[in-house]
Amino acid sequence: MLEVQNVSYSVTEDGVTRKILDDVSLTIPDSKLTVITGPNGGGKSTLARIIAGVLTPDSGRILFDGQDITDMSVTDRARIGIGFAFQQPVRFKGIKVIDLLRLAKDTKKLSSADACKYLAAVGLCAKDYIDREVNASLSGGELKRIEIATVLIKQSKLSLFDEPEAGIDLWSFQNLIEVFDGMRKHIEGSSIIIISHQERILKIADEILLIKDGKLAARGEADEIMPMLMANESVVKNCNLTDIWKGGAEC
Ligand SMILES: Nc1ncnc2c1ncn2[C@@H]1O[C@H](COP(=O)(O)OP(=O)(O)OP(=O)(O)O)[C@@H](O)[C@H]1O
Ligand SMILES: [Mg+2]
């Protein structure tokens, strides 16, 4: 079980401090698929980076299976079973797709045939990709799918995907839903967090957490949370939005 306890995080720019996460507490239970959703800029990716260990919170604690991992490095967190796919994956010049998958598996023994299975699972024709370099020549969607394959291959105790659907075409999206559905069927003893705006993904969640304005605004099942997402309120706080064709927004 993952526990986020009273986590706050702020950034300071040009002498102005802004709170991105404000006293967030939540638990991610074992053997469940939890989806985190909420408006753009609400703090979801920041929370994901704190869970993965890329960022350290200003205050609060992160516990994983009862162990305080707040100050643990990304590498050590990966070692104890936290796998992470970024919203914007990193490119690795000079490293081939097969090498990246072997690194994820933590062994050189991953056969090409096994690697191909994982690439096929994310909708990539393995023979076309296995020897490609993970560099700028890959499209955003291809890179995203390769990164998702690395998380699948790790079979971590906790797998965290930040907007896995971003940049993925409609055909592959269907395939991706099936991948997550399959993971969920074999979830016993592990857990999955998916950050997403997609209704199809919200619908396969055991529970949805709504993060808004840096706070946990609600948690519940799809039927309870979906109406809150559709609530008709201004998306630009403190702005009086007017018709741009008549002169734009006044902030
Ligand atoms: N290093 C930083 N410096 C300044 N502002 C930041 C920094 N990191 C995050 N922010 C701001 O914090 C807010 C939350 O960002 P975050 O990426 O966590 O949002 P999000 O909920 O993942 O949004 P999205 O749905 O668009 O991915 C945003 O307003 C963002 O601009
Ligand atoms: Mg984000």
pLDDT in tens, 94-120: 899 998 899 888 776 888 888 898 898
> Whole-angstrom Cα distance, residue 143 to residue 135?
9
Pick the CATH number of 2-92+154-246 from 3.10.450.50, 3.40.50.300, 3.40.190.10, 3.60.21.10: 3.40.50.300
Specify the residue with its C-alpha closest to ligand 1, atom 12.
Answer: 20
46 lines ligand 1 (CB under 6 A): yes
CA dihedral (114, 115, 118, 124) in degrees, to 10, reads -130
14 lines ligand 1 (CB under 6 A): no
Cβ(210)–Cβ(216) under 8 Å? Answer: yes
pLDDT digits (tens, 9 = 90+) for 127-177: 899 999 998 899 888 888 898 999 999 889 999 999 998 888 887 888 888
22 lines ligand 1 (CB under 6 A): no
Of 56 and 244, the one with more pLDDT: 56
Pocket test for ligand 1, best of 8, 9, 20 (most atoms within 8 A of CB): 20
Return the SS3 of 148. helix
Environment of ion ligand 2 (residues, CB < 5 A): 44-45, 87
Residue 21 Cα, ligand 1 centroid: separation in angstroms?
10
Residue 176 Cα, ligand 2 centroid: separation in angstroms?
19
| Residue 55 C-alpha from the chain's centroid | 14
34 lines ligand 1 (CB under 6 A): no
pLDDT digits (tens, 9 = 90+) for 14-60: 999 999 999 999 999 999 999 999 999 999 999 999 999 999 999 99
Strands 33-37 and 82-85: unpaired
